[in-house]
Amino acid sequence: MALEEYVATFTRQFDSGSSVPVKSLYLYSATPGTGKTTTAAALLNEWLTVNYIGSLQRNRQADERPAYFLDVNAWQTDYNAFNRPRVPDEIAAPAAARYYAAQRIAQTVPFLVADDLGVRDASEAFRADLHTVINARVAAELPTVYTSNIPLAELGSLFDRRLADRVRDLCVEFTFVGESKRGLRNA
């Protein structure tokens, strides 16, 4: 499936009771800087465009929040900020609020980008929260675009087999090749 074909399936968001959900994508590259996040952001923008135009064409109010970009690394940083010992309340409380707000949104938003999945080791509790988000999305057949530097086949060794199996469900893997393109835009 090419990305253009994938974007063409976005109109299914208006087909209530459709038996064919929009699939999820797993954008992988062993090398950072190959365009995974840029591609994921472009897909999110396409979803927003289809949601807005499709809503207008159907004389409906567009969703208040049709899509969400979850930087998994930043989300984990918030988790760590309120779970380390001796963290001052003025740091821990806002981090916890951001963390749980992001979790609630990520579980139910119609389209999610989960960027940088598996960047670093995670505690069992963080993995459980991540599993909760992924499981809720898979159960509701909500499309998710994951980006990672870990191949989907190896995701189970970083997290666990259950989480990797959930990610793999209704998911197509795209592999990005080449060297990092970062820093070349200004050249």
8 within some domain: no
pTM of the model: 0.90
38 within some domain: yes
Residue 18's pLDDT is 66
Residue 70's pLDDT is 98
The boundaries of the domain holding residue 47 are 31-175
* Count of structural domains, the chain: 1
15 within some domain: no
Give CB contacts under 8 A, 24+ apart, made by 178-181: 178/29, 178/31, 178/34, 179/31, 179/33, 179/34, 180/31, 180/32, 180/33, 180/34, 181/33, 181/34, 181/35
187 within some domain: no
Report residues of the chain scoring pLDDT below 50.
none
**Domain of 127: which CATH number?**
3.40.50.300
